[in-house]
């Protein structure tokens, strides 16, 4: 075990250009180990781009991203990170179980893993259903299940709870908390502020800049609001030149 | 290990899609039968059969592979795989193996139909014919992988087929023998892999002369497969913009 003081993710001066525009303008922050960190911000603010940079699939223009002590994208990291893309990355012409078996083989995960993750996301009843026939919420849970295969030390989840009913969302957040309690680091993005309260730490993003990097309590106290949506607005007002 | 898992996954995808299987396995045989009755002359049919037996494995594999890999790119599964321990070559060889197996079925059926029902007289060696057909299907798979990198949609991917196919057929020596073409065209013909594939197939089926010419053709086609696979691997980037 490495010292717990060392962050799971350390980003310094990260700049990303997509198309003709700079999408991330020199971000710096750290994600502590063994906690749930929320990456929040409106659609288009750069959450997916940042997540892709951390996972090592994004071409970056500058800055450094260190994940679990190694440069992002290192070969050794590929077994240690569970990644769930924003659009469900599931083969539509394979059943849920066939999908899980394939990705388990790619990751070298135990043979018992597909059944385990299927239960964790509550899709036991759909094991033999083709990906293409799942509903939107089921599809994103199947995609989430893939990222739980193996025993990732870091879970990077891009809007995993979009389109799910409140009961399922609550169950998934309990699952995330359970994993964090066992020492797994979780970085989860969302554009819905009411999910922020479930995180131990929040990084708020707006137009490619960090608006806030704090605990939910710290944010509420600093902005003197009870609700995080209000806190977000307050922070934007503060930034605006008077 | 990951290569095998990938090949099995692709075969499972095919199994779940009976229409594509039908396209791959039945269509070449059906067209052989159609051609037989259109020509209605066994010696002439025997002249055309080797060309068809070369073209179909290539054509079908090119189409199926370019669409399948394009789907991997657009559905996000490629991004997931590029973040995983899978190496580019695992994916390429996985496709090659899976579609190669499908090609064996395809060629076996087309051959059985041709040699029995259609009375095609095979003067060469069966194994030589199968070898050429398999190489052709691998060539189609490898080029399909490569071309899919330049398509943004399935519609575009399909349009690459005539682009890749028609020059190779026109210059491949089926319509006009290669040594009777204008010099420039003959040069172009000399660098297109299909020219060698067609010649090898003709040697295997009609003359049964498996001498140095045949093996040179095989080497050129096999070399082209490797080259296309390397080019295809170069288009599979872990990091994308
Ligand atoms: N492939 C791309 N090419 C060019 N621009 C892109 C591409 N993908 C995303 N963008 C732009 O980058 C910005 C950030 O996008 P993204 O990271 O997806 O935001 P979020 O995940 O927060 O919704 C947006 O303005 C979007 O239009
Ligand atoms: Mg996004």
Residue B36: partners with Cβ closer than 8 Å, 6 or more residues away = B45, B118
Share of chain B above pLDDT 70, in %: 100
- The DSSP letter of residue B205 is I
Average pLDDT for A105-117: 96
A101, A132, A188, A47: which is closest to B4 by C-alpha?
Answer: A101
Question: What's the mean per-residue pLDDT of chain A?
Answer: 91
Tens of pLDDT along A206-231?
A: 999 999 999 988 888 888 887 888 88
Question: Of the residues A16, A17, A19, A87, which should be mutated to test ligand 1's pocket, given the most ligand atoms within 8 Å of the CB?
Answer: A19
Q: Note the pLDDT tens digit of each residue in B46-104.
A: 888 888 888 888 888 888 888 888 899 888 999 999 999 999 889 988 988 888 888 88
pLDDT of residue B125: 80
Whether residue B136 is predicted with pLDDT greater than 80 in this model: the reply is yes
Residue predicted with more confidence, A37 or B184:
A37
A5 versus A177: which is more confidently predicted? A177
Q: How confident is the model at residue A1, as a pLDDT?
A: 43
For position B54, what pLDDT does the model report? Answer: 83
Sheet holding A70-71, edge to edge: A21-31, A9-18, A62-67, A70-71
d(CA A174, CA A196): 14
A interface with B, Cβ–Cβ < 8 A, is 17-19, 52, 55-60, 73, 75, 78-79, 81, 83, 85, 87-95, 98, 102-103, 105-108, 130, 146
- Tell me the pTM: 0.89
Mean pLDDT, rounded, for B123-150: 85
Best of B3, B84, B89, B236 to disrupt the A interface (most A CBs within 10 Å) is B84
Q: Which two tokens stand for residue A196?
A: 């922020």
* C-alpha distances out from residue B77 to A143, B80, B144, Å: 10, 5, 18
CA B104/CA B89 separation, integer angstroms:
22
List Cα–Cα distances, A219 to A45, A190, A193, A235, in angstroms. 20, 17, 13, 9
**A43 CA distance to ligand 2 middle (Å):** 6
Task: State the pLDDT at residue B173.
Answer: 79
Length of chain A, in residues = 242
Residues of A in contact with B82 (CB under 8 A): 57
Which atom of ligand 1 lies closest to the CA of A51? 17
Which residue, by CA, sits nearest to atom 25 of ligand 1? A44
- Contact (CB, 8 A) for B63 and B93: no
- What ipTM was estimated for this complex? 0.91
Q: How confident is the model at residue B188 (pLDDT cuts 50, 70, 90)?
A: confident
Using CA atoms, how far apart are residues B136 and B103, in angstroms rounded to an integer? Answer: 9
* pLDDT value for A2: 46
pLDDT score, position B161 = 84
B175 — phi, psi (to 5°)?
A: -85, -50
What is the pLDDT, as a whole number, of residue A230?
83
């Amino acid at each position: 075990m490495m010292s717990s003081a060392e962050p799971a993710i350390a980003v310094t001066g990260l700049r990303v250009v997509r198309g003709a525009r700079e999408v991330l303008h020199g971000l710096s922050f750290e994600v502590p180990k063994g906690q749930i960190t929320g990456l929040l911000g409106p659609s288009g603010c750069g959450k997916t781009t940042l997540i892709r940079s951390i996972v090592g699939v994004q071409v970056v223009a500058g800055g450094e991203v260190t994940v679990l002590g190694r440069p992002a994208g290192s070969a050794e990291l590929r077994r240690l990170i569970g990644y769930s893309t924003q659009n469900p990355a599931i083969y539509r012409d394979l059943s849920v179980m066939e999908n899980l078996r394939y990705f388990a083989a790619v990751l070298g995960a135990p043979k018992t893993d597909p059944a385990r993750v299927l239960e964790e996301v509550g899709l036991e009843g759909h094991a033999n259903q083709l990906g293409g026939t799942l509903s939107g919420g089921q599809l994103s849970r199947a995609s989430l299940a893939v990222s739980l295969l193996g025993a990732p030390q870091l879970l990077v989840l891009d809007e995993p709870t979009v389109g799910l009913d409140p009961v399922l969302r609550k169950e998934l957040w309990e699952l995330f908390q359970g994993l964090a309690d066992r020492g797994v680091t979780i970085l989860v993005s969302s554009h819905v502020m009411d999910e922020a309260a479930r995180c131990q730490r929040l990084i708020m993003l707006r137009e490619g800049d960090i608006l806030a990097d704090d605990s939910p309590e710290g944010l509420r106290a600093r902005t003197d609001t009870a609700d995080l949506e209000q806190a977000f607005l307050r922070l934007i007002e503060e930034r605006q030149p008077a | 290990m990951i290569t095998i898992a990938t090949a099995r996954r692709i075969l499972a995808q095919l199994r779940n899609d009976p229409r594509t299987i039908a396209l791959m396995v039945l269509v070449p045989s059906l067209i052989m039968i159609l051609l037989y009755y259109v020509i209605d002359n066994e010696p002439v049919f025997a002249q055309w059969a080797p060309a068809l037996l070369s073209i179909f494995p290539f054509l079908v594999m090119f189409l199926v592979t370019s669409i399948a890999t394009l789907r991997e790119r657009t559905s996000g599964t490629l991004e997931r795989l590029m973040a995983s321990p899978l190496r580019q070559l695992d994916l390429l060889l996985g496709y090659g193996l899976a579609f190669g197996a499908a090609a064996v079925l395809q060629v076996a059926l087309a051959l059985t139909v041709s040699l029995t029902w259609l009375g095609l007289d095979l003067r060469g060696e069966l194994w030589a014919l199968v070898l050429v057909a398999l190489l052709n299907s691998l060539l189609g798979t490898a080029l399909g992988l490569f071309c899919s990198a330049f398509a943004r949609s399935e519609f575009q991917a399909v349009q690459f087929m005539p682009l890749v196919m028609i020059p190779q057929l026109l210059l491949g020596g089926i319509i006009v023998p290669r040594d009777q073409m204008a010099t420039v065209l003959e040069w172009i013909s000399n660098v297109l892999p299909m020219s060698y594939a067609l010649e090898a197939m003709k040697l295997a089926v009609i003359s049964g002369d498996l001498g140095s010419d045949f093996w040179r053709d095989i080497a050129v086609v096999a070399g082209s497969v490797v080259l296309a696979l390397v080019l295809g691997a170069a288009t599979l980037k872990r990091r994308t913009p």
